Structures are given as structure tokens and as C-alpha cells.
Amino acid sequence: MKDKVVFSYSFAVKLTDRSISAQTPEALFDLEGHVLRILRKEDSVLLVSSDGYSSLQDAQQQLAATLMRTKVALLKLNIPHLDWWSFNDTQRRATIDIGSIFDKVNIVPVSYVPQAYETQRLQHWPGAIPAGPDFDLGALAEIALPDRALRFETLRTVEALNVLGLALADTHARSKLILAVTAVEILSVRGRVDSDVEGALNALKSKVSEIQVADDVKRQLKMVLGDAKKESIGTAGKRLVQKMLGDGAAEEFSELYKLRSELVHGNDSRLSINIKEHSEIERKADRGFQLALNLTLSLCDIG
């Protein structure tokens, strides 16, 4: 009699600020009649897995749910981590390419990739995140620039550089783009709207008292109309980029600012789960970072 086929799932997560205790290399939990196993694969890498599912679809559904529960649990414990959704495109491709070597001989390449598979297949852990390129300390020659070559006139430029440092430290392209645009916002000072627009806003504000609404609502309306006398932060950013870097860079900033808004406000077409779109977002994140860095350096008189 042919053995019944059962299915398993697994995925790995890397903790970025701590090691996993060698004293507790495994934790087992009951999940609706299935054993949920968490293994210490490396000093800072844990592997989540479960088996005994009667169909591939059941395993995949539970895989999706466990992915979310794992992320929520780590966030509630304030533990920074990297998972498959956090990987950049290069890391994903390298992980998949390595895994394909084992797939060809019917071995499951257990890795950061969330996957469901037949339990009876052999499994192998190919390794952790692909190593980054070597860094030559000689590349830091700019540290020896004379003091006169630096001009940090405002705390805004220092803060923008700090934010750009955070953008580089985050491997997720969406975060990098969001932080790059934020750096431009930090450098931007909102100006006043055109005088005719400001006059119209003043006229509207003078009519608020005549509206039959609660006093609290009137105060809110006056605040909204008062704030509208300043240009939007997006307009201020574009104006600054245009002044320092030219028209082409200003148009590029507008495009990146629109994309950042879609990412921040949860546009359904821009979700992290859309792997196919990741390469495009990563390219734009790199462009956004370079634009923000060029702007910051131009304000510091550093080429």
C-alpha cells in the first residue's frame, strides 16, 4: 500500500541585534494539533517549521498565517529582524539560485524562502544570508578633508545625513525610499502660497464665524485654512531640489515623492508581498537615495 503523502512548511528569520541562546536550541508549540518547531540554525538565525498537513494547500495556508504570527511576535518583543520580505533583490536571487541546485536533485533547500513541500523529501540548510562585498578602508579618504571643505550651516543637514545613514542600514527597498524622501523633507522649508491664494484663504477664514457649527469645529476650520497658507512639504522639496540640482532632478523628485506616498499610504498595487515589483522599487530607492545625498552635499558645498 502506498504511503499517504503529507506536507510540511518552513522559513528562516535572522535576528539582527542578538544571538539565540545555545541553551535552548529548540522550542516546540502546539498549533491546532500540529507541532510548531522553532530551531536555532545559527547564532542569530531561527527556523520555523511544521508538518503533518494532508494537502499542499493546507500547508501553504498555515505557512502564510505562521509568517504573520512570527512577525507580530517579534515586533511585540521589540526584536529587530530580517525575513524574506526584508531581503533586497540581490539577496533573494542569490538565495533562490543556491536553492535551485538542491531542488534539481529533489532536496528541499530549507532557507529564508517561505515554502511548503512533501515531508518525505530530504532537506538541507544551504546557509544564511549571502555575504556582502569586501570593503577597502582606503575608500574612506574623504575623512581627511580639511575643515574648510565642510559647511554644515544648519542642524537640518546633520539630521538629513543621519536619516540617509538609516536608509542605507535598512535592506528593504521600500524603507530606503521612504527615508530618502524624508531626508529631502527635512532639508525643505515650507514657503508661503501665492498672494492671491492667501487672499482667498483669508476671505474664507473670515466667513467661518458665520457657519452654523460648534465652536470647536470653527477652530479646526480656522487652523486648516491657516496652515493652507504654507505650501505643501512636497512642493517645498521640489522647489529646493530644482534650485540646487536643476529641473530634471526636480521632476524625478516629484515622481519619487508620489511613489513614497503610495508606499506609505498602503496603495494596493505597492504592497511588499508583490515580489515581482521589488526590483523596480529597489532601483527607484537607489535613485531616491542618490538624489537626497546629492542635495544634502550640495547644501554643504561638498561635491
Question: What pLDDT was estimated at residue 289?
Answer: 93
Residue 131 resides in a domain: no
* Number of compact structural domains in the chain: 3
Residues 102 and 243 in one domain: no
Residues 12 and 143 in one domain: no
Give the range among 6-15, 62-71, 90-99, 124-133 with minimum mean pLDDT: 124-133
Question: What pLDDT was estimated at residue 205?
Answer: 74
Residues 158 and 50 in one domain: no
Residues 161 and 257 in one domain: yes
Distance, in Å, from the CA atom of 121 to the CA atom of 48, rounded to the nearest integer, reads: 17
Residue 132 resides in a domain: no
Question: What pLDDT was estimated at residue 63?
Answer: 93
The domain that holds 285 is classified in CATH as 1.20.120
Q: Parallel, antiparallel, or unpaired: how do β-strands 81-82 and 7-15 relate?
A: antiparallel
Question: What pLDDT was estimated at residue 271?
Answer: 59
Average pLDDT, the chain: 84
Residue 144: pLDDT band with limits 50, 70, 90: low
Q: Parallel, antiparallel, or unpaired: how do β-strands 115-118 and 7-15 relate?
A: antiparallel
Residue 2 resides in a domain: no
Model pTM?
0.65
Residue 130 resides in a domain: no
Residues 149 and 15 in one domain: no
Residues 167 and 287 in one domain: yes
Residue 1 resides in a domain: no
pLDDT tens digit string along 165-182? 888 877 788 888 999 999
198 vs 232, which has greater pLDDT? 232
Residues 141 and 268 in one domain: yes
Distance, in Å, from the CA atom of 165 to the CA atom of 289, rounded to the nearest integer, reads: 10
- Residue 30 above 70 pLDDT? yes
| Domain ranges, residue 221 | 195-227
User: Percentage of the chain surpassing pLDDT 70?
Assistant: 86
Distance, in Å, from the CA atom of 45 to the CA atom of 38, rounded to the nearest integer, reads: 10
Residues 145 and 275 in one domain: yes
Task: Please give the average per-residue pLDDT across 41-58, as a whole number.
Answer: 92
150 vs 177, which has greater pLDDT? 177
Residues 83 and 57 in one domain: yes
Residues 171 and 204 in one domain: no
Residues 222 and 236 in one domain: no
Residue 281 resides in a domain: yes
Q: Are 191 and 239 contacting, i.e. CB atoms less than 8 angstroms apart?
A: yes
Residue 209 resides in a domain: yes
Residues 36 and 160 in one domain: no
Q: Which of 124, 155, 172 is the last residue of a domain?
A: 124
Q: Are 190 and 232 contacting, i.e. CB atoms less than 8 angstroms apart?
A: yes
- Residue 202 above 70 pLDDT? yes
Residue 165 resides in a domain: yes
Q: Are 59 and 79 contacting, i.e. CB atoms less than 8 angstroms apart?
A: no
Distance, in Å, from the CA atom of 10 to the CA atom of 223, rounded to the nearest integer, reads: 53
Give the range among 58-62, 68-72, 83-87 with minimum mean pLDDT: 83-87
Residue 141: pLDDT band with limits 50, 70, 90: confident
Question: What pLDDT was estimated at residue 161?
Answer: 87
Q: Are 38 and 30 contacting, i.e. CB atoms less than 8 angstroms apart?
A: no
pLDDT tens digit string along 65-84? 998 899 989 988 888 888 88
Residue 147: pLDDT band with limits 50, 70, 90: low
